[in-house]
Chain A
Amino acid sequence: MSLRSNNIRILLAAALFTSVVFAPPWLAAVFAFALAARWRAWEVVAAGIFMDFLWLPTSVTFVSVESIPFATLISILTVVCLEPLRRQLLLGPGIL
């Protein structure tokens, strides 16, 4: 992975975590999508977990709708479901 690509990934990840704390959710979603579209970006899942710890009203128990960590689940789905797109756009070890 080139140094430039690495730097962009780090910048996007920093923007993602910052937007989780300060910005509306759609902006965090944009950064998450941008990261997951290019890389197999597990930091997106970490950001989802962080978002749930920060904003979820209750503990995660799955007994009610408000206790389901949607951000974590969506972030995992985003990283996994964009795999075919990454595979079409990128070949070789770049997708790892």
Chain B
Amino acid sequence: MKSQFSNRARSRSLLVQALVVALLVSVAFFGFDTLTGGLVRSYARTTASLAWTASAGIISATDGNGFFATRRLLARENAALSERLALYEESMARFRALEDENEALRAIAQLAETEGDGLAARVLSSLGSSPYGTFVIGAGERDGVAEGSLVLTPGGFLLGTVSDADSHTASVRALFSPGSLVDLVAGNISFSAEGRGSGNARAEIPRDAKVAVGYVVSAPAYFGRPAGLIGTIESASSSATQTLFLRLPLNLDTLRFVYVTPIK
């Protein structure tokens, strides 16, 4: 009994000591990062960007080869395909991948014609992996990307702003990141919307405001750029307000390139 009690006391004392060490280590890491202007974050992003680039290559290759096709389809293909046809299909898959990429870049190029100076950047990370509503793009200070630069979708909608940039990559904070408040305008009414993540936001406006589903909302703080669409409107007859559910007009999971433009 006494031995069990002393074991528990020893264990608790070890936990407290380890907790203090963990806090000190955390403070040391974050302090060093802050003092060096984000050196540790830069290394973390660079390391992760290697993993993201490699995984994107693997996914693209397996997708092109039909690795995840159904068994029936694969059995039929295995029976029919000769070595020459396999080579041909591999070339076709590569061509399709390039065609997809070309299409995405063409949309960006059209945007570049209207926006002027700016650059297209590849989205390195997933847009749903960050708990803070951030994502990483493959362009940094060497490409002219700086903190505060605007990040647009290929359609010209405001996706977010660059929150931190190092030499080759930059962290982007999504406009509709979870919990963020954004001032927006729709029709003749201005309101504040709360970000919900994944390109969605929610806002409450007076019931008599003249808005409709499909209206484009713009962000006055970002030179009136379009920030999203009204996806759904909910209102109860007993309420003085109506709730707007806003969304970006594209699937963020398939977004491969963004357009980065300096604040002007």
Instruction: Give chain B's interface residue range (CB within 8 Å of chain A).
Output: 35 or more
- Pick from B7, B23, B44, B128: contact of A54, CB under 8 Å: B44
Instruction: Give chain A's interface residue range (CB within 8 Å of chain B).
Output: 35 or more
Indicate whether A3 reaches chain B with its CB closer than 8 angstroms.
no
Assess the A57–B19 pair: CB atoms within 8 A. Answer: no
- Pick from B12, B19, B48, B132: contact of A76, CB under 8 Å: B19
Contacting residues of chain B (77-106) with chain A, CB-CB under 8 angstroms: none
Q: Nearest Cβ in chain B — how far from A51, in angstroms?
A: 7
Q: Nearest Cβ in chain B — how far from A21, in angstroms?
A: 5
Q: Nearest Cβ in chain A — how far from B5, in angstroms?
A: 12
Assess the A53–B40 pair: CB atoms within 8 A. Answer: yes
CA–CA, A80 and B15, complex, Å = 8
Interface of B is mostly: helix
Q: Nearest Cβ in chain A — how far from B31, in angstroms?
A: 8
- Pick from A23, A72, A95: contact of B11, CB under 8 Å: A95
- Which residues does B use to contact A, with CB under 8 Å? 4, 7-8, 11-12, 14-15, 18-19, 22-23, 25-26, 29-30, 33-34, 37-38, 40-41, 44-45, 48, 51-52, 55, 125-126, 128-132, 134, 163-164, 171, 173, 179
16 CB < 8 A contacts A-B: A21-B129, A23-B129, A42-B22, A49-B30, A52-B30, A53-B33, A53-B44, A55-B134, A56-B41, A58-B164, A59-B33, A60-B33, A69-B26, A76-B26, A79-B22, A80-B19
